[in-house]
Structure 1
Amino acid sequence: MRYKALGRGEIGIKISEIGFGTWGIGGLSRGGATSYGKTDDNESKRALQCAYDSGINFYDTSNIYGDGHSEELLGEVFKNRRDRIVIATKVGFVEHLKPQDFSINSMTESLDGSLRRLRTDYVDICQLHSPSLDQISLGVISEFVNKLKSQGKIRMFGISVKSPKDCRSAVLNFGAEILQVNFNMIDQRALDFDIFEFVNKLNIGLVLRTPLCFGFLSGKCLNAEFGSDDHRSRWPKEQLDKWREAPNFFIEIAKKMRLTLSQLAFRFCLDQVGTTTVIPGMITVEEVMENASVSNTHPLGPIILSEIRNIYLNHSFFIAKPK
């Protein structure tokens, strides 16, 4: 496993270039289709242990993943190894599909709840969870961050942006040290907005989420049906069909590079200059082992990167937003 310095490096945090996104292991939550469905806690804990054994030390979570259950799992598995892992959590949502609250009291209460579930007295990164930047106050955010840093409850401040177009403002207007953004082979908006060049120049930590586009780029969702508790059921059938077909554009490239589709997708993310870590969701030991192995693969090279870029530029993979 390869490791990279996170952000400007003043604190000295180094994280694995493959991280662990914990939305999936959180399991069911209030609010309907807001998860990946029911999960097995024992399997989730085995996956977390396998990730740790594979060198993964970065775990991204939130108070609303399984209504806090993903944080509880992290707290249980790593209660005696807290100093060996890096945890990022989020504030802003009180509950899935309900109005966000970025007031100091709400964010502080949310973080304190996360700390209890995580069985720790600090998190390495506290992130605002998909805020509308025109609806949050710089004064409030600055006061919250400075207070929590002075209390030792957080080490770094980040924003998990709603859209890649928010990245510049998140850094320049709100002082984000870490950015989390959507990016994958069929959603390259971060390249469209020159975000990689931007973060690399300013030495901002960059966390890439949805590297498999909700699992579709793994090629394993071709015939999948999503239950009423799975957030993917909220997308129109036409959109799901587009995503199911998307892997066909990359199969030959994966074969040529002797990679699985998932490994190709992760490699594409890692090879963007400025990427700090990629955080796929993982539920099983098998998924962890396949994903962690990407760190040992060779870069794709400019020709393959250009080929994947051109596929994106010449095809439309999105037709609508979630209902």
Structure 2
Amino acid sequence: MSDNTIPTRPLGGTRLELSEVGLGCWQLGGDFGPIDETTATAIVKQAVADGITFFDTADVYGDGQSERYLGETLSTLAPNAVIATKYGRGEGTYPDGYSLNDLRDSVKRAQDRLQRDTLDLLQLHCIPHEVLQQSHIFDWLREVQQEGHIKYFGASVETQEEAHTCMQHDDLASLQIIFNLMRQRPVTDLFDEAVAKQVGIIVRLPLASGMLTGKFSKQTQFDKRDHRNFNKDGDAFSVGETFSGIEFEKGLELVNKLTTFKPESLSMTEFAMRWILDHEAVTAIIPGASSPKQVTQNASTASLAPLPDALHDRLYAFYLKEIEPAIRCQV
């Protein structure tokens, strides 16, 4: 963006202000294909230059590599940037190794890698619903919070049901959810409650694993380490995380139809991300980026004008009729 600023929004009822467009940092762990430190650092530096002040990572992204890259770069370049990380998917933890000591140890390791005395936001990382329902883990989060290791806690979830379970806790700061043109159900099933309870919404996979860029074809090939290659059918983790739970070729067909709704002045990427930012409940979107140029393109979305209400209505009707029946997981 030309003025190097991006509008911010408050994260629910917290004191944190997030740039509307953040940077998702899964790719900095090398989980989409090899990435060297020079490229990773350039991506983070460009995000700061473009006015991005919110970065989302996790302890398991590259076994801590993503957190290390962020800590090394942001500690001097943007020490006041908000960093959110996650706990709950590490080896020995998922699916049934959760405990206060395990949580605390994970947080301390993240503090070291991120070079932060206190973590801004710790999110439960798509942990089993039964663990959320038992509630013990929320008591452990409160204890770690009282010890000064984290400022706020939230949860990254797969389904609306899991989101509602988490929102039973009044001190929940945020929910990270899949929300995009291919997963629109939160508009009617989640957002009103989130706003009422002052829970901030962080949107991951705003482009449905890149599907909504409109740049894929039946010939598109992904790196063998990329989840879009090995998890197309949910073989490694929830099928809903990859292409928003829609079979690849069906997704191509649906995106082709979605392009007919797009204003001529916008690219498909701009259209898809601006649609998300038009929702009051959303605090920030966290698209990933494989290059500094892509960071800048993503950041520019915040400066676009909102889409017309009538277009939103047409898109939701199209979702209910043609997209939702194709989703292969619980939404």
Q: TM-score, normalised by structure 1?
A: 0.89
Matches within 5 A, 1:162-201: 162-173=158-169, 175-193=171-189, 195-201=190-196
1:4 equivalent in structure 2: 9
Q: Is the 8 A contact 1:94 1:100 kept in 2?
A: no
CA contact (8 A) 1:82 1:120 kept: no
Q: 1:246 aligns with which of 254, 270, 275?
A: 254
- Aligned AA (2:293): E
Compared CA separation, residues 115 and 99, structure 1 to 2 (3 A): same
Offset of 1:140 from its aligned partner? 2.9
1:308 pairs with one of 303, 315, 319: 315
1:96–1:145: structure 2 CA closer, same or farther, 3 Å change rule?
Answer: closer
Which residue of 211, 218, 229 maps to 2:213? 218
Between the aligned partners of 1:82 and 1:294, the Cα distance in structure 2 is 22
2:241 equivalent in structure 1 = none
2:24 corresponds to = 21
Shift of 1:190: 1.4
Q: Which residue among 28, 36, 39 is the counterpart of 2:35?
A: 39
SS at match of 2:85: strand
TM superposition outliers: structure 1 runs of 4+ over 6 Å: none
Instruction: Tell me the distance in 1 between the aligned counterparts of 2:92 and 2:20.
Output: 28
Preserved contact between residue 90 and residue 128 of structure 1 (Cα < 8 Å): yes
Identity %: 29
1:101-180 aligned within 5 A: 101-136=97-132, 140-173=136-169, 175-180=171-176
Residue 265 in structure 1 maps to residue 265 in structure 2: no
- What do residues 263-298 of structure 1 show as CA deviations (whole Å, max 9, x unaligned)? 111111111121111111112111111110011110
8 Å contact from structure 1 (residues 185, 312) kept in 2: yes
Q: Gaps spanning 5+ residues in structure 1: where?
A: 28-34
Please give the alpha-carbon distance, in whole angstroms, between the structure 2 residues aligned to 1:109 and 1:305.
44
Q: Is the 8 A contact 2:132 2:165 kept in 1?
A: no
Question: 5+ residue gaps in structure 2?
Answer: 1-5, 235-245
Aligned to 2:66: 70
Given the superposition, is the C-alpha separation of residues 126 and 98 from structure 1 closer, same or farther in structure 2, using an over 3 Å criterion?
Answer: closer
Residue 80, structure 1, aligned to residue 76, structure 2: yes
Secondary structure at the aligned position of 1:303 is classed as helix
Letter in 2 for 1:235: K
Report the CA distance shift for 1:212/1:96 in structure 2 as closer, same or farther (over 3 A): farther
- Tell me how large the CA RMSD over aligned residues is: 2.3
User: Aligned letter for 1:291?
Assistant: N
CA contact (8 A) 2:12 2:195 kept: no
The number of residue pairs the alignment matches comes to 311
Work out the CA distance in 1 between the residues paired with 2:97 and 2:249. 35
Q: Which residue of 1 aligns with 2:295?
A: 288
* One of 229, 232, 235 as aligned partner of 1:235: 232
Q: Are 1:138 and 1:173, in contact at CA under 8 Å, matched by a contact in 2? A: no
One-letter amino acid matched to 1:2: P
Q: Per-residue CA shift, 1:119-171, capped at 9, x if unaligned?
A: 11111101111122322465532432222222221111101112122212101
| 1:276 alignment counterpart | 283
AA in 2 matched with 1:161: V
